[in-house]
Amino acid sequence: MTAPASQESLPQRSRLALPASIDGILLTLVAGAAILWFAPVGMGRYGTYVLSLWLVMSIAVMGLNLTLGYAGLKSLAQAAFMGLGAYTTAILTAKFGVSWYAAFALSGVLTFAVGIVLGFPALRVKAHYLAFVTLAFSTLIWLVLRNEQWLTGGVFGISNINRPEFFGIKLFGALEFHRFVVVITFILAVALWWMIRSPWGRAFMALRENPIRAASLGVDTRTYTLLAFAIGSAYAGFAGALYAPLVEFIDPSPFSLSQSFFLLLMVVAGGSGYLLGPFIGALLGVVLPEWLRFAGSLYLIIFASIVMLLLIACPQGVSGLFERGWARLTGKNSGGKNSGGRKGTF
């Protein structure tokens, strides 16, 4: 379920895949941000809100994609980290009047630090056991959010969370806030794009593909495992810090264990280990159910069927499907599900 490829050695990059495709990803991000900047014009507040929600979820999924898709660590705590970020921001801005920007940064720092602490067990346990550790953590966070009413508002949640200002421009309206979300998402996506291309990114992938070989080549597995997990968690924290002012209300329900599974589904459905996978995954998870509403009471059944069919037809997710299609179109040998490789990820 994790990665589409399990090559013994890093595959040979095709001529097309090297610098050109790297730029292709960046260009897609720039073009996407530009389109999304203008997309909601005339779309109404509902459409704008759904687009913003999609981007916010994409940030959380990007983090999990780093943890799972690049570093191969199965985490079931992404929604809990998102909750930590959302509550940190909500409490700081709504109760203590702290600026949203400071709260946003603190949410990232806090989730990064907690990620490091929780990441330590990741050094000792792997695969299912790591999943259990993160599952326990997820439940723990949810219980704290629900039971510590003096701090978190308990089951009643926190309402009237203010939206930030941007150099004096109030982001109260749906369109203004959406554009703000576009900018933040773009910055975070580019940061991740840069990271994946850096030696860090290669180290993360080496860890996933063959940890023993990575260690023998001098990759400090302990540090990189921790880093991958902590950075992935910080992205969830950032997503939470945007989610709280977007919905203007939070309670524990969107940060429960089931939501962590849903985020995991988005990573896999979008294509784990592909840089643009999280956007597609979150599109499937957030926008598709909304779009299917025309089907009335059947919409969740149709949604579930689409996801199941997708994963049966293409275990590498939509990105993998696109890649195979592209390979066939350009006449290049897709050579089964693996040898297409992760274009643009190296």
Closest by Cα among 64, 103, 90, 58 to 234: 64
Residue 122 CB, nearest approach to other proteins (Å): 29
Please state, in angstroms and rounded to a whole number, the distance separating the CA atoms of residues 317 and 115. Answer: 27
Residue 225 CB, nearest approach to other proteins (Å): 29
Q: Is 296 in the site for other proteins (CB under 8 A)?
A: yes
Please state, in angstroms and rounded to a whole number, the distance separating the CA atoms of residues 179 and 17. Answer: 32
Q: Is 194 in the site for other proteins (CB under 8 A)?
A: no
Q: Is 255 in the site for other proteins (CB under 8 A)?
A: no
The one segment of 102-110, 154-162, 194-202, 305-313 that binds other proteins by CB under 8 A: 154-162
Beta bridge mates, 249: 159
At 192, is the secondary structure helix, strand, or coil? helix
Q: Is 310 in the site for other proteins (CB under 8 A)?
A: no
Write each residue from 21 to 60 as x if it is in contact with other proteins (CB under 8 A), else as -, in one continuous string. Answer: ---xx--x--xx--xx--xx--xxxxx-xxx-x-------
Beta carbon nearer to other proteins, 112 or 238 = 238
Closest by Cα among 189, 188, 187, 217 to 202: 217
Write each residue from 199 to 238 as x if it is in contact with other proteins (CB under 8 A), else as -, in one continuous string. Answer: ----------------------------------------
Beta carbon nearer to other proteins, 31 or 217 = 31
Query: Which residue from 123, 136, 257, 288 is in contact with other proteins, where contact means CB under 8 A?
Result: 288
Would you state the structure tokens that stand for residue 248, as one six-digit string?
């203007």
CB 229 within 8 A of CB 117: no
Please state, in angstroms and rounded to a whole number, the distance separating the CA atoms of residues 117 and 121. Answer: 8
DSSP string for 121-181 = HHHH--HHHHHHHHHHHHHHHHHHHHH-HHHH-GGG-EE-PPPPEETTEE--SHHHHHHHH
Q: Which positions lie near other proteins, rule CB under 8 A?
A: 24-25, 28, 31-32, 35-36, 39-40, 43-47, 49-51, 53, 146-147, 154-157, 159-160, 174, 243, 247-251, 253-254, 276, 279-280, 283, 287-288, 290-291, 293, 296-297, 299-300, 322, 344
